[in-house]
């Protein structure tokens, strides 16, 4: 079965692991004609352990903010005709983070996309392609992405 996410606008979201989050492990998922912009995957979370006591604020830095625009772990078949711009990751993959797992032979095809002006604090401001991942990039513009010091 093929799953398609067509013509969506995914904008102005924040999340502790990924803002526009696609970790479905559905290897037949296609993202097509989408605009994924101004999303942020952050690394630390501040919360109260007791909502009635303002002195119980805790900051947890154990979250890994990967994939500000798209987080694809052992999932996704195709990303096509998309604009992935102005996303931020506080670790890796400001635009797109791709990760895999042993035994998963999924190949992600990224075609006819604009991946621009994304930021990350460690690596892969536009694209971060990691262990056990295979990506085929065709006819894309990857430009003006930047890694900054956190």
Q: What is the per-residue pLDDT for 136?
A: 96
Q: Quote the tokens at residue 101.
A: 């797992």
List all residues 6 or more positions away from 135 whose beta carbon is below 8 Å from its beta carbon.
98, 107, 108, 109, 110, 127, 129
Stretches in the chain below the pLDDT threshold 50: none
The answer to whether 81 touches 112, Cβ cutoff 8 Å, is: yes
Q: What is the per-residue pLDDT for 18?
A: 65
Q: What is the per-residue pLDDT for 25?
A: 60
Q: What is the per-residue pLDDT for 119?
A: 96
pTM: predicted TM-score of the whole model, two decimal places: 0.82
Q: What is the per-residue pLDDT for 30?
A: 86
Q: What is the per-residue pLDDT for 129?
A: 94
């Amino acid at each position: 079965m093929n799953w398609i996410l067509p013509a969506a606008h995914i904008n102005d979201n924040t999340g502790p692991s990924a803002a526009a989050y696609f970790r479905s492990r559905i290897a037949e998922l296609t993202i097509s004609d989408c605009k994924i912009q101004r999303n942020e995957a952050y690394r630390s979370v501040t919360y109260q352990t007791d909502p009635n006591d303002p002195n119980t604020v805790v900051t947890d830095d154990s979250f890994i903010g990967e994939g500000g625009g798209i987080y694809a772990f052992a999932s996704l078949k195709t990303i096509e005709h998309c604009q992935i711009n102005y996303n931020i990751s506080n670790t890796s993959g400001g635009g797109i983070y791709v990760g895999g797992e042993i035994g998963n032979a999924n190949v992600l095809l990224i075609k006819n996309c604009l991946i621009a002006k994304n930021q990350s604090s460690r690596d892969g401001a536009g694209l971060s392609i990691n262990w056990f991942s295979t990506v085929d990039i065709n006819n894309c513009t990857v430009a003006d992405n930047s890694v900054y010091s956190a």
